[in-house]
Structure 1
Amino acid sequence: MTTASTPPAQPAPPLPLATGRLVLRTVLASDGAAIGAYCADPEVTRYLPFAALDAEGLAERMARLVAATAPSVPGESLCLAVLHDDVLVGDVMLRLTDRHGPQDPPAIGELGWVFSPEYAGRGFATEAARALVDLAFTHYPLHRLMARLDPRNVASARLCERLGMTREAHTREDYADRDGTWSDTAVYGLLRREWAGS
């Protein structure tokens, strides 16, 4: 129920998305084996906010991914499986983060992605992320998209640049690593008017 202080719910996004080579659809429970294969790889998760997943960690992540289908308010996410020729090659995420005012719809979103190294170097991550950016700006009244990543994650930084994002900040030792050390964060941003003019 919508009240005077609650903005109306956003409709579910139109899915699946199709690009030249890929299909992006909601994550299914049956995707667990494919997602688990790359999320159990320490090299894949090296710069991610979670360690290589064991069975318990995979079950928790899959529950979150499967449920993330129709974000409407800050804190909710849309998670999509990325398929090439019916093979799952990675997953992408759009998380709604902030709104301009308490009665406004979300205005800022954050992007994330994880891909199987088996399919690296073929442009799948860029193609999928670009489709997610387009969906974010066409379906939601977002003003800004952002990505936060470890500056050592050169592949993701290059992906942000290919998406037309601007490196806006480098914050020092603001993220506690799993090994007890502190890491930096690089922040990339893309404004609606920049996307519309590209």
Structure 2
Amino acid sequence: MVALALDSLTWPRRTARLAIRPATREDLRRVFAYRSREDVAHWMTHRPTDEDAFVEEHGTPERLPLTLVVERRSDGLLVGDLYLHGEDAWAQREVAERAAGVQAEIGYVLDPEHGGQGYATEAVTALVELALSPVPDGLGLRRVHAELFADNGPSARLLERVGLRLEGRGRQDSLHRDGRWLDGASYALLADEWAARPGAAAPLRRPGG
């Protein structure tokens, strides 16, 4: 895990309908409420079942900075959360320092109670822009990627709407908790591709915007 310079950014990051900010420990019980649902956890890495344990696990100084929460601007309701995990890119030893902290894995969860309104697309678009936009408005990363079960069609379609492309599919390389070996899929996007894509999103609004 690579620490990202989130403290250097201005929060919250606002879109037309949403506000995105770093999570606090107080947010985690609300996050647990929807992450513990079977229909949410079906494609996730695990299904949490103990609220206090979830807060302790995700509320540590190492884990908490990985989570951003998504609130509806109209009423401040928490409707989902985002994941941003900084990484070093693979590099040969002679140039390894140039590959340090240049990319991130992204993730996203939306409370199903607020699905079907485009919030997930809006939030993930904002997350990608935050990651790939140049400093000081963004983190200035060169690449983002997302890993998922290939059978998770809604998630794959969301990534494609945002602009990520399928980079590869692993044949039965991922074990689901139901005992089946399933195909995994990798999606990614470069900063240059994001900046050049048709209909690129407008810059994120700063507080008060």
Higher relative contact order (CA 8 A, sep 6+): 2
Question: Is the Cα contact below 8 Å between 2:24 and 2:59 reproduced in 1?
Answer: no
Q: Quick one: structure 1 residues 40 and 172, their matched pair in 2 at CA, closer, same or farther if it must change by over 3 Å?
A: same
The residue that corresponds to 2:107 in the other structure is 112
Cα distance between partner residues in 2 of 1:57 and 1:163:
33
1:93 aligns with 2:93: no
Cα distance change on mapping 1:64 and 1:91 into 2, 3 Å: farther
Corresponding position of 1:74: none
Structure 2's unaligned 5+ residue stretches are 198-209
Bigger fraction of residues in strand? 1
Using the TM superposition, give the Cα deviation of residue 61 of structure 1 relative to its aligned residue in structure 2, in angstroms.
4.3
Distance 1:189 1:65, change over 3 A: farther
Match of 1:82 among 62, 70, 73: 70
Give 1:10 deviation, angstroms.
4.0
Equivalenced residues, count: 184
Which residue does 1:175 correspond to in 2? 174
Corresponding residue for residue 10 of structure 2: 14
C-alpha deviations, 1:77-135, integer Å up to 9, x for none? x3210001200000001111223543234122111001100000101111111111111
Verify the 8 A CA contact 2:43 2:149 in the aligned structure 1.
yes
What 5-or-longer segments of structure 1 have no aligned partner?
1-7, 70-77
Identity %: 35
How big is the shift at 1:62?
A: 3.2
Q: Structure 1 or 2: larger helix share?
A: 2
TM-score (norm 2): 0.79
Alpha-carbon contact 1:95-1:109 (below 8 Å) kept: yes
Which amino acid in structure 1 is aligned with residue 132 of structure 2?
A: F
- Paired with 1:65 and 1:113, the residues of 2 have a C-alpha distance of 20
TM-score in terms of structure 1 length: 0.83
Cα separation, 2, equivalents of 1:172 and 1:34: 36
